[in-house]
Structure 1
């Protein structure tokens, strides 16, 4: 598979995110800005609402926990791609973490702080990459197995932040908890 770089989604049909808008020049700033926006919405979540799924949708706290964990996992993937030639990104177990109740009992404001902190940490890691590092590759297995660059990975992080902010805004607007 070496040398095969596949850009899966240039534009997300659900949230309108365009991967081409995130380049190495703006990635760190976009991660911090989008994480701040996500965390600000999470801060407004009703701390008394508690987790309750509707129609299989994740709850606001599950989205918050997922985003926090995604930021940590993506940072480790960046470091792994710097240390090894085209390593495989191990799946993070996003659905399993929710099923295992990893996100039950979380405090929305504490989770918002953690999202901000993890985003700052990941953005710093990206900001330390030299021009030649942005094209380092790793094998990403979702939604299909393909080699991706670290620049694509940064855009994917921003997409996750944008998309899941849309999800929690939907939850808060409709009074529902849950995952689309």
Structure 2
């Protein structure tokens, strides 16, 4: 694999704004997505990422030195599924837990996203998505009102 290029500009946005307005980049308004749709959307996204990761050896190449490669984005998506599943599990056993901060850029470097095997990332992403989707689909209506906070206090 090629050496790790320049590090992308860190993304330290407070992404909770997507709950109150539409994303200008992708058009998603997360606050309008019904909870019942999340599992299906996660399955579709996971299948698309598995296809991307296994379709071309070029997945390891960055389009620009400071932009992640498809492999790095795929590893990030895998870790988001793992993170969301762990956070959802915590919400089901604790009342209003506070989540530890997660720095995706730090994780990408520490875990060597650019050096990971695309096929392994694809397999792990599919498994992580499957676990998250199963936990989502097992939710009882009474559990849908449970709340949590980020480490910065945002709900």
Q: TM-score range by the shorter chain?
A: 0.7 to 0.9
Aligned length: 140
1:38 to 49, 59, 69: 49
Match of 2:34 in 1: 23
1:86 to 79, 90, 96: 96
Once the two structures are superposed, residues 17-57 of structure 1 have per-residue CA deviations (whole angstroms, 9 ceiling, x without a partner) of 2324531222212211121112212222326x645573421
> How much is the aligned-residue C-alpha RMSD, in angstroms?
2.4
Structure 1 pair 74–94 and aligned structure 2 pair: CA distance change class (3 A): same
Structure having the larger proportion of residues in strand: 1
Aligned-pair CA distance for 1:121: 0.6
Match of 1:68 in 2: 78
Match of 1:58 in 2: 68
Structure 1 pair 25–8 and aligned structure 2 pair: CA distance change class (3 A): closer
2:109 to 92, 95, 99: 99
What is the TM-score normalised by the length of structure 1? 0.67
Aligned-pair CA distance for 1:84: 1.1
DSSP 3-state at the match of 1:56: coil
1:14 to 25, 30, 51: 25
- Given that residues 42 and 108 in structure 1 are in contact (C-alpha distance below 8 angstroms), is that contact kept between their aligned partners in structure 2? yes
2:18 and 2:24 map into 1 onto residues whose CA distance is 15
Structure 1 pair 46–56 and aligned structure 2 pair: CA distance change class (3 A): same
What is the TM-score normalised by the length of structure 2? 0.77
Runs of at least 4 residues of structure 1 off by over 3 A? 5-10, 49-53
DSSP 3-state at the match of 2:56: coil
Match of 1:114 in 2: 124
Unaligned residue ranges in structure 2 (runs of 5+): 1-15
